[in-house]
């Protein structure tokens, strides 16, 4: 296993994403929030992995999970590596996952490394540990993945510790710009984070050869935007003319501002329950989530909302099934309503087989874990991956 990926707040989303793209056989979980992959780090396009926080090269596996032992190892071995690093002041940060060591203790070990560096004539700046692990902003803004930077990542894996070096971290600034600088946004249709849009597209595409991604509920165009940045063509439709206009204008903005080449796209007004789209290879999108809710309404009202959403989803899935061939793959983020004792799901999800679909399951993530939600949200997004039978 050569590559270590540290996932985000909901690790299962990232694990399912990796499984989709690379297959379960070259993947294994490492602790609760990381995955090991048996692929060369250089052959992975980490910029398109929405479920990744850190992307690391595995350096070695240590036969211990005791921080004292790990510190000894570091102090003994790091000086010999300093001599091969380029001249200049080095910046070092330590990130620890799943190992018993307080931020203060980790920081003290970093200072020991600094001392060891001095003995071989290296000047080192230590990035202070706010927590056990550096957050993305710290890694990014301290340039720890660049020439004079060094973030050492320690992940507990059973009775061993994986020691890795990060080579990329999620570009939170670029994600924020793609999200917030788009000229047309609408909080009523929900703000799909670009990272989640990437995960949805990766779950939809899998290992298939994809050229055109269709989003039948395109809204303001986040999925289309991310599909275009990933090198696909995009086709989007939405019932509301205003949304069609928003998507079109947002994508024009993307084309003007992006440094990456952008393929072609089409946005049209259409009802996803009866429209015939024509050529596309995968469907990725966030469907109709019902009206926004700040808290759980009265059960009768909630039932009505669920039924209304369900009718649209059932008709949409029937419409897609009648115009596609077996093997078509899609990932849709559909609503799930957070109740006191779990989630209320769309009833149609129980009838997928009758509608002509198989729901894909993942080794590294169960269905419940594929529900994206924040603590303050009533309407969550359940990621459903379907294959046309």
Ligand X SMILES: C[S@@+](CC[C@H](N)C(=O)[O-])C[C@H]1O[C@@H](n2cnc3c(N)ncnc32)[C@H](O)[C@@H]1O
- Using CB under 6 A as the criterion, which residues of the chain lie in contact with ligand X when the complex forms? 189-190, 192, 216-217, 219-223, 238-240, 243, 271-273, 286, 288-289, 312
User: Closest separation between CB of residue 305 and ligand X, Å?
Assistant: 13
Q: Output 58 or 284, the one with its CB closest to ligand X.
A: 284
Q: What is the rounded CA–CA span in Å between residue 201 and residue 189?
A: 19
User: Closest separation between CB of residue 238 and ligand X, Å?
Assistant: 5
Q: Output 113 or 346, the one with its CB closest to ligand X.
A: 346
Q: What is the DSSP secondary-structure string of 165-210?
A: EEEEE--HHHHHHHHHS-S---GGG----HHHHHHHHHHHHTTS--
User: Closest separation between CB of residue 355 and ligand X, Å?
Assistant: 16
Rg of the chain in Å (alpha carbons): 23
Question: Residue 139 corresponds to which tokens in the numbers above?
Answer: 């890694």
Q: Output 211 or 242, the one with its CB closest to ligand X.
A: 242
Q: Output 56 or 334, the one with its CB closest to ligand X.
A: 334
Of the candidates 378, 382, 323, 311, which has an alpha carbon nearest to the alpha carbon of residue 351? 311
In whole angstroms, what separates CA 46 from the centre of its chain? 10
User: Closest separation between CB of residue 2 and ligand X, Å?
Assistant: 35
Q: Backbone phi, then psi, for 24, in 5-degree steps? A: -70, -25
Q: What is the rounded CA–CA span in Å between residue 165 and residue 334?
A: 37
User: Closest separation between CB of residue 193 and ligand X, Å?
Assistant: 10
3-class secondary structure, 372: strand
Residue with the CB atom nearest ligand X in the bound state: 219
Task: Name the strand (E) or helix (H) holding 312.
Answer: helix 299-323
Long-range contacts of 70-73 (CB under 8 A, 24+ apart): 70/99, 70/109, 70/154, 70/161, 70/163, 71/109, 71/112
Task: Name the strand (E) or helix (H) holding 123.
Answer: none
Q: Output 312 or 346, the one with its CB closest to ligand X.
A: 312
- Alpha-carbon torsion (106, 146, 172, 208), positive or negative: negative
Q: Output 44 or 222, the one with its CB closest to ligand X.
A: 222
Neighbours of 132 (CB within 10 A): 18
User: Closest separation between CB of residue 91 and ligand X, Å?
Assistant: 37
Q: Output 51 or 117, the one with its CB closest to ligand X.
A: 51
DSSP-derived secondary structure letter, 44: -
User: Closest separation between CB of residue 215 and ligand X, Å?
Assistant: 7
User: Closest separation between CB of residue 33 and ligand X, Å?
Assistant: 26
Contact 199, 13 (CB under 8 A): yes
User: Closest separation between CB of residue 258 and ligand X, Å?
Assistant: 17
Q: Output 133 or 200, the one with its CB closest to ligand X.
A: 200
3-class secondary structure, 126: strand
Q: What is the rounded CA–CA span in Å between residue 37 and residue 203?
A: 17
Of the candidates 380, 206, 372, 170, which has an alpha carbon nearest to the alpha carbon of residue 281? 206
Residue carrying the six token digits 């649209």: 312
Q: Output 82 or 316, the one with its CB closest to ligand X.
A: 316
């Amino acid at each position: 296993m050569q590559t270590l990926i540290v996932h985000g707040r909901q690790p299962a989303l990232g694990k399912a994403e990796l499984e989709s793209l690379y297959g379960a056989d070259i993947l294994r979980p490492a602790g609760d929030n990381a995955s090991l992959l048996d692929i060369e780090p250089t052959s992975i396009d980490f910029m398109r992995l929405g479920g990744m926080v850190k992307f690391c090269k595995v350096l070695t596996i240590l036969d211990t999970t005791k921080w004292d032992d790990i510190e000894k190892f570091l102090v003994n071995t790091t000086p010999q590596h300093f001599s091969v690093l380029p001249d200049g002041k080095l910046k070092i940060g330590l990130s620890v996952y799943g190992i018993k060591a307080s931020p203060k203790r980790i920081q003290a070990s970093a200072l020991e490394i600094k001392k060891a560096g001095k003995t071989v004539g290296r000047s080192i700046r230590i990035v202070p540990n706010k927590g056990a692990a550096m957050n993305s902003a710290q890694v990014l803004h301290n340039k720890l993945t660049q020439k004079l930077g060094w973030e050492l990542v320690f992940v507990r894996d059973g009775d061993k510790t994986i020691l890795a070096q990060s080579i990329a971290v999620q570009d939170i600034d670029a994600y924020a710009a793609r999200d917030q600088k788009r000229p047309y946004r609408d909080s009523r249709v929900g703000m799909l984070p670009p990272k989640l849009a990437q995960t949805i597209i990766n779950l939809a595409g899998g290992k298939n050869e994809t050229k055109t991604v269709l989003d039948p509920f395109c809204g303001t165009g986040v999925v289309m935007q991310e599909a275009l940045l990933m090198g696909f063509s995009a086709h989007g439709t939405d019932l509301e003319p205003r949304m069609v206009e928003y998507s079109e204008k947002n994508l024009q903005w993307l084309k003007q501002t992006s440094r990456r080449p952008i393929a072609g796209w089409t946005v049209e007004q259409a009802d996803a329950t009866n429209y015939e789209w024509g050529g596309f290879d995968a469907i990725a999108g966030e469907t109709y989530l019902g009206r926004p809710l700040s808290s759980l309404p009265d059960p009768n009202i909630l039932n009505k909302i669920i039924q209304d959403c369900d009718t649209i989803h059932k008709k949409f899935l029937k419409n897609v099934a009648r115009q596609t061939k077996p093997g078509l793959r899609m990932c849709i983020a559909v609503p799930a309503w957070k109740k006191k004792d779990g989630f209320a799901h769309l009833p149609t999800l129980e009838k997928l087989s009758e509608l002509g679909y198989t729901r894909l399951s993942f080794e590294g993530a169960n269905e419940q874990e594929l529900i994206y939600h924040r603590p303050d949200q009533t309407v969550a997004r359940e990621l459903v991956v379907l294959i046309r039978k």
